[in-house]
């Protein structure tokens, strides 16, 4: 088999890679919602007495939406950064798929708890949901992009180190051959540390 045929993955392999990526993105959204729910549950239990003293309806509205969307602002962006470091994921696609899957899970939970009519009862809640989703998707895309840039920088450093090590090794081999003896084996640290 020639190198040209071996270098290009087959249709099955490409499809499998895309499927894995999609499952990871959807799973990241659902996982972010779940982790955010745990964080909010513990935080609101801890801050319960202080939150009960809020008298302004607008402040209460903002605080409620802040806590309700912590998964989107505080959990999903770090997951996007990790995905950007580990995968060759497009930031916008990761943010969109993960964010919308978490949002779908959020809506399913809300409708199971309160009913369909309660999820879309007030236009201000729908507007708040759309605005907070857009902000969360933007934050996640930025975090994924930053993770991707960090991975590319780390790859460039690793390649530069590999070239430097290869040149050093070639120089050592040339010296050893010029002296007519085999090169010394590199000394390894003692095992059992």
Prediction pTM value: 0.73
- Closest alpha carbon to 69 in 154, 170, 138: 138
Q: Quick one: pLDDT at residue 97?
A: 94
Please state, for a pLDDT cut of 70, what percent of the chain lies above it: 88
For 146-166, what is each residue's pLDDT tens digit?
999 998 998 889 888 888 888
Sign of CA dihedral 90, 91, 92, 95: positive
What is the torsional sign of CA 86, 97, 129, 134?
A: positive
- Mean pLDDT for the stretch of residues 57-83: 88
Q: What is the residue-wise DSSP string for 1-60?
A: --HHHHHSPPHHHHHHHHHHHHHHHHHHHHHHHHHHHHHHHHHHHHHHHHHHT---HHHH
Q: What is the pLDDT of residues 76-110, one digit of tens each?
A: 999 999 999 988 878 999 999 999 999 999 888 88
Instruction: Write the CB contacts of 87 (distance below 8 Å, at least 6 apart in sequence).
Output: 21, 24
């Amino acid at each position: 088999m020639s190198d040209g045929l071996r270098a290009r993955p087959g249709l099955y392999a490409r499809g499998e890679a895309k499927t894995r990526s999609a499952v990871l993105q959807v799973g990241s959204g659902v996982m972010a919602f779940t982790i955010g729910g745990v964080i909010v549950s513990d935080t609101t239990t801890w801050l319960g007495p202080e939150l009960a003293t809020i008298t302004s309806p607008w402040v209460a509205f903002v605080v409620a939406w802040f806590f309700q969307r912590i998964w989107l602002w505080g959990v999903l962006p770090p997951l996007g950064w990790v995905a950007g470091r580990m995968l060759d994921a497009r930031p916008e696609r990761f943010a969109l798929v993960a964010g919308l899957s978490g949002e779908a899970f959020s809506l399913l939970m809300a409708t199971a708890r309160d009913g369909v009519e309660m999820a879309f009862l007030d236009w201000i809640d729908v507007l708040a949901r759309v605005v907070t989703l857009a902000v969360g998707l933007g934050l996640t895309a930025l975090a994924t992009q930053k993770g991707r840039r960090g991975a590319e920088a780390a790859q460039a450093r690793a390649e530069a180190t590999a070239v430097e090590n290869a040149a050093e090794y070639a120089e050592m081999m040339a010296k050893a051959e010029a002296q007519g003896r085999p090169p010394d084996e590199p000394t390894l640290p003692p095992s059992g540390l």
